[in-house]
Structure 1
Amino acid sequence: MLLKKWSYSNTLASKNASPDFIRFLCDRYSYEELSELTLSGGWGVDFEKKQSHFDKQARKMLKVPSSYTPTLKDGYRFYAPDEIEKATILFNSCAQGKSFKTEIKMMTYTGAVFYARAQGKAIKNEHGKIIGIRGVFQNIEIEKGKELKLQESLKRIKGHNKWLHQLAHIVSHNLNAQICSLQLTSRLIDLEGSTQDQEELTSKIKSISDNLECTLKHFNTITSLQNVHKEPKRLLIQEVYNEVITKIKQSTYCKRTIFYTEFSEVEVVEYIPIYLKNILLHLIINALKNKHPDRENEINIFTYEEDGKKYLVVKDNGVGLDQHKIDYLLSRTYKTYSYGEDKPGLGIFLIKSQVEAIGGSFFIESKLGKGAKFTVQLE
């Protein structure tokens, strides 16, 4: 038995529409016209004759040649590779009598992928035996694109809100703590009279002042990053590196340091310019400050691509980190971070927070005395 093409009038009848209304629509719209208007293609599978069927609109949407005859064997070629397992489960369930309605990535005969809203149901004969499947799919690429773009925007907003919470915590907790210590020390100086005590208090003031200055620098960094236009742009990583290294080489940290770079695998990236510059700048400075005293400093900076994702790596041969320190840096949040615990680690903490705020990932690999490797997922 061949599968029968279902009509729009049958669909309306199943919805209890009035006969006059059914005739009104059917007089003016054919099945093919409705299918084209809604960008919906129909398909069917006859289990008894082992035949497949595409209607006119389905053939058009899937861009199959006029001579092409669909078969059960190659039916999965019209689904994206990462959706074949899902399609198999749905098809097998439908063959057992379970209807489905889902969104899935389909693929044309020529290999173009598009999002589709698909549904299917089993066909039974007069004895209730399942003899086939019929279904329909609708191209929702434009609609899905808008949905994904909205989801990405919401993700970015959520990340930026988290970033602002971190900023608020750092300002309120760390600056207030340093200011209170400075005020208390000033009062003690007024009360103390001996020269030795005054020298100790003066040293204490200097330490507090240095800490406060460091905190303010990080605060200014965050503020400047939040006050820029945050639209990603197409960036040549070599050019970003050249700009950053020009600034760094003016400092004393670069003495006896050898830089190795390799950006051939990923030369271009879509990223917020000032973010990428800030990340690269602080990772290089971190590598310079943590050089090993017994060997010449070497810093390797390179990019690579894996599983469709792009990465930037800054690797050094410095003093390195133990696993406890790595776990500490990667687990810090704005609720648990304490400036007094580790002021050098604040820079890495802020970079990690910034990367994650725009949807990326940050990784640290290191052994004490063996250098460190910092990896940033860019896309």
Structure 2
Amino acid sequence: MNLSISESNDHLKSVFFEKAYSPLVILNSELVFVDVNNAAETVSGLNRKQFIGKSLLDMFPYLKGTKRLESYKNVLKTGKPLGFDSVSFFTKDGIEHKFMIRAFKIGDFMGISTLDVTTLTDIIGELKNAKTSLQNANEHLKVQNQELEDFSYVVAHDLKAPLSNLKSLIKIVLSTNDISDELYPMVDRIGKVAEVMCSKIRGINDVMAVKSSFGEKHQKILFAEIIENIKLTHSEEIINSRTIIKEDFSKCPFIEYNPSHIDSILLNLMSNALKYRHPNRKLNIKISTKVIKGRTHLFFKDNGIGFDENLATNKIFGLFKRMHTHVDGLGVGLYIIYTIIKKNGGNIKVKSKINIGTEFTIQF
């Protein structure tokens, strides 16, 4: 038998109602159940006959006097739909389910559709607990890091004076004629060890000084002025080595940054370029800046002896890590640069080839 369009539509609606994955119910204007679908029977553990003809309060007496009950009545009165994000429902076995509920008017009736979000709610709860645990762990790590930094500062500060005194005493002993030829090499070696230890302590103090300056206000700084001051600092070495320095700050003449930090970055880059210049050619240094996608970029390039760029980042930028040992150095400069840039939300990349040169690209 052929169904009319109206009958066909009613049939499709009936099939949709029954086959829906989520519980659906229909109540009349007195909040009495008119129909429930299969999913509602499954979740509640009750059959359709146990619902039909019963009022909402008969089935869920705990709703009496609640705002939710008044909200349902208001849907029937005004026709405005409403929703609840997380409503608890307990089965006859005491199992809790969490539902999102949507109530809406259908003619003189009210339909209620639900979505079981129990699993999602549990996951969200677990994520919140995990977030809290991570926050607590992070706070604990911050405290530990601060304690370690304080300890490092105290150790470095307290060891500086006695080590300097030891170094001075060893020099005095070596300058006298009272030391035997057998003991002289040993005492001399002790002096060199003391010198290394003093250098390490100075390096730690430099690092601690930089870290203690985080949080200071940023200021407008002209790159040309910073470079000019750095050239004055290294003027003798620049002149004696006949170093050529080319600057181009036309595309980005200034930056808003911590003055001591930008000075430290450029000073260490310049110091390294001069220190590791190639012995068989004149040192050329090129410094330029530009804005890329709203971020200030600094390019610092030299034609020095270079190093193997395939070394791990923690080797290149690690504390007391050195690319070359044929000249004096602590291996602190690049670590300080890396620490400053990362702490300020920037990034640094390096390209280098042995006997060709090195280029640093810094994104502030």
Q: TM-score, normalised by structure 2?
A: 0.50
Whose relative contact order is higher, 1 or 2, with alpha carbons under 8 Å and at least 6 apart? Answer: 1
Q: Which has the larger radius of gyration?
A: 2
Q: TM-score, normalised by structure 1?
A: 0.48
